[in-house]
Structure 1
Amino acid sequence: MTRWAVNGYLVIFFAYMFLPLIFMIVAAFNEPGIPQAIPFKGLTFHWFGELFDNAQIWAAVVNSLIIGAGVVALAITLGLSGALLLTRLKTRGRTLLYGILVSPLLTPGIILGISTLVFWNNLGVPGGLVLAILAQATFISAYCMLLFMARLQRFDHDLEEAALDLGASHRQVFWKITLPFLRPTIFTAAVLAFLQSFENFNTTVFAIGGETTLTIQLASMARLSLTPEVNALAVIFIILTVIAAVAIEVKRRAEKAQEERRIEAAKRADAELAAGLEGRLNGPEALQPQAAQ
């Protein structure tokens, strides 16, 4: 009974996850001018051609990529700085500072967008891509900071102290010890920051001024005239996502295999060294059979 319940749950779960994607993909190749998978009236690639001819969508995609790259650079820098500060701060104000730094996560995106626009407009910065980057980075950097703090909880600070005792500068310690330890988290935080930026709507719509991003463009199309071009774009994104996931998995397995080979080589070297030491301790008589072999 339990097995049937688990299997039924898995079927419902995967249907809930993947059926909308399947219908969306089918609609991208269906002839009608509105997104629909049923009834299927004929296979066509017309909507992909319409998509590639739509200059507004591709301009929005470019803007989203520019904003995403800017947010990654800013959020990684701010998040890493905040994490290093909080993990090394031992005063009573650490809890208060932590609450201040993570507070943007609890603030509605609309409030962040409006407050960013008002503040930077008073300083002469108009709405646009730069302001959108600043607005998004206010809360995305907090996500990155939490990731870095979780990683730094497992960091052995004695390594830094030993390097400093041996004459290394603080810059050398950071680049040679701390940063290599944080490298996997930097990649994870960068991916998270980019995805958060790419799909953001509430904060961006108030800060971007007369420009537009892909999310804003799709929202406008959904209100006015939604066509299967959107489905065609989604198919392209799905393909790119699958390619990226496969590439990352292949890279991960290659690194794992390389690490296993390194461990095996180290074990063989240790075994050979132990055998050599044992032969020397037992004297020349023990080495003669080995030489004969």
Structure 2
Amino acid sequence: MTSDLIQKYMVRFYIAMFFLYLFGPLILMGVTAFNSPTFPTAIPIDELTLKWFSVLANDKDMIQGIKNSLWIGLGVVCVAVPIGLAAALLMSQVHKKAQSIYYMIVVSPLLTPGVILGISTLVFWDRLGVWVDADYNSVFYSGIFLSIIGQSTFISAYCMLIFLSRLQRFDRTQEEAALDLGATNVQVFWKILIPFLRPAIGSAAFLAFLTSFENYNTTLFTIQAESTLTTVLAGKVRLGTNPSLSALAVVIVGITLVGAVTHEIYRRREMRREALAAEAAKRAAHIADKGMAPV
């Protein structure tokens, strides 16, 4: 056996171990969702069952936590994406000597522990509510509102980084040309900049929603009397769990796979459509060149 063959088998072995390390726990968790024992058990399989999905659907705390997580995620998208976009645009406008200082300030929430962000958000809005003499049923003491604000403080920085990476490829001469032709700044923003940033906007919104949906440290202090999916899961794990949590994992993984496959199908269709359009344009240009050629 040659050294090249040994190296090839070793590379394959390490790749297999890597994917087993990544997907092994998910596979075992998926098996426990369909096994009958009340404690999550993958081996041995006593009896295949779907009852844990029914238990999950009837778990009021879990369902309410999922609903709250969805609302908070949507709220974070509405707050963090515009703030991140504004921060990225300002970053491209400030003087180069001040960019490093500005960058350090706007990225600092990413370096701050989530516990600190959660406590500071809770204390700030509590003091502000006392200062304006707000009622305890007002927005100042709403766990949903405080979670949206607390999470947006650092998720907006993620959004800003996405927009910055996109803006680095933006040709500023397009804005200058539009302004020279009589367009207003608002028209330039909506007609030129926003269409160029559309992929980044979608990516930032998706990242903001997922980051909010799985956040725990900040949410634990800001949610107060309410609950989210992560806080409900943490409580269930501390008190003892059953395979309904595995059923939830199977549902989330299934939704993720469906979304990924759908996106890939849509992307390939778009690429095929663009290729056909480019081929048609090429043929039209070739026909036009032949028609204009001297006889």
Same-fold call, TM cutoff 0.5: yes
Residue deviations 1:248-278 (CA, integer Å, cap 9, x gap): 1111011111110111111011101111111
Structure-2 separation of matches of 1:90 and 1:261: 44
Q: Does 1:84 align with 2:89?
A: yes
Q: Does 1:274 align with 2:268?
A: no
User: Corresponding residue for 1:65?
Assistant: 70
CA contact (8 A) 1:121 1:127 kept: no
Residue deviations 1:31-79 (CA, integer Å, cap 9, x gap): 1111110121111111111111111100000000000000011110000
Structure-2 separation of matches of 1:153 and 1:216: 39
Query: If you compute each CA radius of gyration, which structure gives the higher value, 1 or 2?
Result: 1
Matches within 5 A, 1:1-293: 1-90=6-95, 92-124=97-129, 125-278=140-293, 282=294, 286=295
Q: Any stretches of 5+ residues in structure 2 without a counterpart?
A: 1-5, 130-139
What is the one-letter code of the residue matched to 1:81? A
Shift, 1:92, TM fit: 3.0
The Cα RMSD (Å) is 0.9
What is the one-letter code of the residue matched to 1:188? S
Q: What SS does the corresponding residue of 1:123 show, helix, strand or coil?
A: helix
Total equivalences in the alignment: 280
What is the one-letter code of the residue matched to 2:44? P
Structure-2 separation of matches of 1:11 and 1:98: 41
Q: What SS does the corresponding residue of 2:42 show, helix, strand or coil?
A: coil
What is the one-letter code of the residue matched to 1:239? G
Shift, 1:127, TM fit: 4.5
Structure-1 separation of matches of 2:269 and 2:194: 22
Structure-2 separation of matches of 1:127 and 1:170: 38
Structure-2 separation of matches of 1:254 and 1:169: 36
Structure-1 separation of matches of 2:96 and 2:279: 46
Structure 2 length as normaliser, TM-score? 0.93
CA contact (8 A) 1:102 1:142 kept: yes
Q: What SS does the corresponding residue of 1:92 show, helix, strand or coil?
A: helix
Q: What SS does the corresponding residue of 2:38 show, helix, strand or coil?
A: coil
Q: Any stretches of 5+ residues in structure 1 without a counterpart?
A: 287-293
Structure 1 length as normaliser, TM-score? 0.94
What is the one-letter code of the residue matched to 2:203? T
Query: Which segment is superposed worse, 87-96 or 215-224?
Result: 87-96
Structure-2 separation of matches of 1:263 and 1:2: 44
Moved beyond 4 Å, runs of 4+: none
